[in-house]
Amino acid sequence: MADVIARDVGVSGLVQGVFFRASAQDQAVRLDVTGWVSNEPDGSVRAHIEGPARNVAAMLDWFGRGPRRAEVRSVEVTETEPTGAGTFEVV
């Protein structure tokens, strides 16, 4: 079994009101990563993702694009410790 890594992610741009969180959850299920995604008061989206390195990398690539209607301006990624999350939730 692959080692689990974790990343905290901040995404800015046109990322609220474009189904970003729901699309992130769908993508996370496809990629078998866990964690959460939420809207922030400043209009950005924050997320915590964890899973095998390859899956986390694929999810980070997705965050750089987002869903079809999103306009991602920047993605900030920070290494963090896995929490043992069992699902991926929209919060």
pTM of the predicted structure, to 2 decimals: 0.95
Helix (H/G/I), strand (E/B), else coil: 91: coil
Q: Which domains does the chain have, with CATH numbers?
A: 4-90 (3.30.70.100)
CB-based contact 44:12 (threshold 8 Å) = yes
Which of these is catalytic: 39, 55, 68, 69? 39
| CA contacts within 13 A on the Cβ side of 20 | 28
- Whether 55 is catalytic: no
Report DSSP state, residue 3: P
Which of these is catalytic: 7, 21, 54, 73? 21
pLDDT recorded at residue 2: 63
pLDDT of residue 1 exceeding 60, the answer is no
How far apart, in whole angstroms, are the C-alpha atoms of residue 15 and residue 82?
25
Which tens digit of pLDDT belongs to each residue from 37-75? 999 999 999 999 999 999 999 999 999 999 999 999 999
Q: Where are the beta strands (DSSP E) in the chain?
A: 4-14, 34-39, 45-52, 71-80, 88-90
The mean of the pLDDT values for the chain is 96
- Whether 54 is catalytic: no
